[in-house]
Amino acid sequence: MLQDKIFRLKGKVQHYAWGGFEFIPHWLGIPNTGHKPFAEYWMGAHPSASSDIVTPNGSLSLNELIKGFPEITIGNNVQQKFGELPYLFKILDVHEMLSIQVHPTKEEAIKGFEEEEAKGIPVGAATRNYKDKNHKPEVMVALSEFWLLHGFLQQESLKKVLQSVPEFEKFVSLFKNDDYKKLYQHVMEMSQNEVNALLTPLVHRELQRKKDNELTKDQPGWWVTKLFEHQTSVENIDRGIFSVYFFNIVKANPGEAIFQGAGIPHAYLEGQNVELMANSDNVLRGGLTPKHIDVPELLKHTTFKGVAPNIMMGEQMKPGEKNYSCPVDDFGISKIELKQSQTYSGTASSLEIIVAIDGEMQISGTNNLSIKRGETAAILCGETYNISTPSSVMAYKAFVP
């Protein structure tokens, strides 16, 4: 069936409203004549937007190909363990802030999915929390300066915030015994009128500070003003603003990575990244979104403790390859960076996807393929291959460890 083992992969663009307009089209080398937001570029076999592999006889859906020939595409081990390609690889351009979210553990996802099935809630319903039975750990590597929220501030830092923001002084007693849950539950369960009354003066004050050039991106106020600076009035305030003050604001520089496991509340704020995640749509939202927020379900799965964000620089595995260690079986990610005289060799332990961020590369094995910036290769399980470059290349590789 498949004589070749190395294929060009055509991903799928997702035009979500929060996406940017230039980065992904420019990277792909295509025009954006309709001025649409290009939010994500998906590389994988997700049934809702499977990539295609390009063969001499035309294009094939990667999802269909894996279903038909699991042993030669993803390999028997991965097929037995996961029954599918267990990861989804993406390029993101975050122009507007994404919703605050928490992902469940695998056990909780199975339980939640089965409960909602039993209640007869359609999978596509807006009020549905669990779209599948999988957990959704994810790792991101920054392609630009990238800003995100990640986990609660540690105790002393959060106490300082509660004491220094006038509107939050009334919460100091709630957090007396470092009770993260009590504090977060309180603000998440407040009525919309209470939220508006409490946060309106805060929003106006931050907008004024932005006008006076008193804010920088490492301050919560910067992101609050990003929500409101193009609006004519301050009303129906999103309670996600509390999280902007209560969570760590993290800056990742290009090549730096951060892993988000089950239970860690997080939100992408701005920038471009490479993201790799388990093949799942299970998201429990906590604000900065018009979408469904199920507070009891969110509280059930949130990790209520202070977190020191672990920014990974990547570990040199062999010349030209840095690995970002992720504590999951579903996926692994490494960065491949080569200069003209350097080569890299590997053997695909399952289906591997390699995306060229910059430069170009020649992949040689059973067959040969050249890919350049904005292009992607899929390498079938078991294939041994070499990579070289005519000048230089920087790429990211997704694999199953």
Q: What is the 3-state secondary structure (H, E, C) of 202-222?
A: HHHHHHHHHHCCCCCCCCHHH
Going from the C-alpha of 152 to that of each of 103, 242, 255, 333, the distances in angstroms are 15, 11, 24, 26
What is the rounded distance in angstroms from the CA atom of residue 75 to the CA atom of residue 367?
A: 19
pLDDT score for 2: 81
Q: Model's pTM, two decimal places?
A: 0.95
pLDDT one-digit tens code per residue, 276-325 = 999 888 889 999 988 889 999 999 999 999 999 999 999 999 999 999 99
pLDDT score for 133: 85
Tokens of 261: 């496991």
What is the rounded distance in angstroms from the CA atom of residue 70 to the CA atom of residue 66?
A: 5
Which backbone phi and psi does 85 adopt, to 5 degrees? Answer: -70, 115
pLDDT score for 1: 63
Distance of CA 45 to the CA centre of its chain: 17
Per-residue pLDDT at 232 exceeds 90: no
What is the rounded distance in angstroms from the CA atom of residue 364 to the CA atom of residue 368?
A: 4
In the residue annotation, 285 being an active-site residue is answered as yes
Q: What is the 3-state secondary structure (H, E, C) of the chain?
A: CCCCCEEEEECEEECCCCEECCHHHHHHCCCCCCCCCECEEEEECCCCCCCEEEECCEEEEHHHHHHHCHHHHCCHHHHHHHCCCCEEEEEEEECCCCCEEECCCHHHHHHHHHHHHHCCCCCCCCCCCCCCCCCCCEEEEECCCEEEEEEECCHHHHHHHHHHCHHHHHHCCCCCCCCHHHHHHHHHHCCHHHHHHHHHHHHHHHHHHHHCCCCCCCCHHHHHHHHHCCCCCCCCCCCHHHHHHHEEEEEECCCCEEEECCCCCEEEEEEEEEEEEECCCCCEEEECCCCCCCHHHHHHHCCCCECCCCCECCEEEECCEEEECCCCCCCEEEEEEEECCCEEEEECCCCEEEEEEEEEEEEECCCEEEEECCCEEEECCCCEEEEECCCEEEEEEEECC
Domains along the chain with CATH numbers: 12-148+251-301 (2.60.120.10), 160-245 (no CATH), 315-399 (2.60.120.10)
Taking CB atoms within 8 Å and a gap of at least 24, the contacts of 31-39 are 37/95, 38/13, 38/93, 39/14, 39/15, 39/92, 39/93, 39/94, 39/95
| Of 313, 182, 191, the residue nearest 171 (C-alpha) | 182
Residue linked to tokens 């979500």: 16
pLDDT score for 132: 87
What residues pair up with 274 in beta bridges, in sequence order? 91, 141
What is the rounded distance in angstroms from the CA atom of residue 13 to the CA atom of residue 9?
A: 13
**Residue 394's CB: how many other CB atoms inside 10 A?**
18
Between strands 58-61 and 247-252, the pairing is unpaired
pLDDT score for 282: 86
> Which of 2-6, 171-175, 324-328, 384-388 shows the lowest mean pLDDT across its residues?
2-6
pLDDT one-digit tens code per residue, 161-181 = 999 999 999 999 999 999 999
Per-residue pLDDT at 215 exceeds 80: yes
CB 13 within 8 A of CB 33: no
Catalytic residue among 8, 128, 239, 285: 285
| Of 383, 391, 335, the residue nearest 362 (C-alpha) | 391
* Average pLDDT estimate for 73-83: 97
Buried b (16+ CB within 10 A) or exposed e, 346-366: bebbbbbbbbbbebbbebbbe
Question: How many angstroms separate the most distant Cα atoms in the chain?
Answer: 68
pLDDT one-digit tens code per residue, 124-151 = 898 899 888 888 999 999 999 999 999 9
* Average pLDDT estimate for 31-45: 98
**Residue 50's CB: how many other CB atoms inside 10 A?**
20
What is the rounded distance in angstroms from the CA atom of residue 396 to the CA atom of residue 333?
A: 7
